[in-house]
Chains A and B, each alone.
Chain A
Amino acid sequence: AIWMTQSPSLLSASTGDRVTISCRMSQGISSYLAWYQQKPGKAPELLIYAASTLQSGVPSRFSGSGSGTDFTLTISCLQSEDFATYYCQQYYSFPYTFGQGTKLEIK
């Protein structure tokens, strides 16, 4: 299985900040990576696929980059509704795996 190291696990920030979340793979996965946002008590929602393509309806303040083993999710100007937990997920090989999650909290 491909292991994923997502960091940080907890991120404190303020509205208007720019934040970055990292996801590192145990082996190269090209661009076969997606990012999800999950709010408490809700199912995850797709933000980004193919490492950098924004899902329809997702605000442009979200962006993704990277390929191979290192990937980044950036939120350029935090809004109140962005405080949530974020997960990366690889679909390069079975079993599909998720990062451990990054909880983004209000500072």
Chain B
Amino acid sequence: QVQLQESGPGLVKPSQTLSLTCTVSGGSISSGSYYWSWIRQPAGKGLEWIGRIYTSGSTNYNPSLKSRVTISVDTSKNQFSLKLSSVTAADTAVYYCARRSLLYLPGGAGGAFAFDIWGQGTMVTVSS
């Protein structure tokens, strides 16, 4: 059973860089056609997709954050990471890592994508 676990500092100072790592256990990050995403959720608010990476290193980012975001992967450690620069209080949130999988449709009608496995989330506060 694949599991994801986020790790990193819970407190980051304004203008600094937020760095988080997601460790994949129970399976290889390189197996299958999976994309690995970061998603965040400010307290009491909705979900915001930050970006994703494939194990080849190919990335896609949310344009609203693109200038500040870098997502990378380390297949040897079965991990992928998020860096968000120049943080402000608006970046305070619970950060989740998630796996986007190709899920099969009944009757051989092809497949569809969704976030089927999530980490438990890690709270990051931006404050001096």
Listed in ascending order, the chain A residues whose CB lies under 8 Å from chain B are 1, 31-32, 34, 36, 42-46, 49-50, 53, 55, 87, 89, 91, 94-101
Contacts and interface: CB of A to CB of B under 8 A. Distances in A.
User: Nearest 8 A-B pairs (CB), nearest first?
Assistant: A50-B112, A43-B118, A49-B114, A95-B62, A96-B49, A98-B47, A34-B114, A49-B112
A49 B113 contact: yes
A94 B118 CA distance: 20
B119 interface: yes
15 contacts: A32-B113, A43-B96, A43-B98, A43-B121, A46-B116, A49-B112, A50-B103, A50-B112, A53-B103, A91-B112, A91-B113, A95-B49, A95-B63, A96-B49, A99-B46
B115 A50 contact: no
B116 A53 contact: no
Interface of B: 37, 46-49, 60-64, 96, 98, 100, 103, 105-106, 112-116, 118-121
**SS of A interface (majority):** loop
A39 to B, nearest CB: 12
Given A49-B103, A94-B60, A44 B47 contact: yes
Q: Which of B47, B98, B100 has the most CB of A within 10 A?
A: B47
A53 B48 contact: no
Given A43-B96, A95-B61, A98-B47, 7 more contacts: A34-B115, A43-B98, A87-B47, A91-B100, A95-B60, A96-B49, A101-B47
Contact of A32 (B98, B105, B112): B112
A44 B39 CA distance: 11
Given A96-B49, A98-B46, A100-B46, A44 B114 contact: no
Nearest to B66: A95
A87 B98 CA distance: 15
Contacts of A50: 103, 105, 112
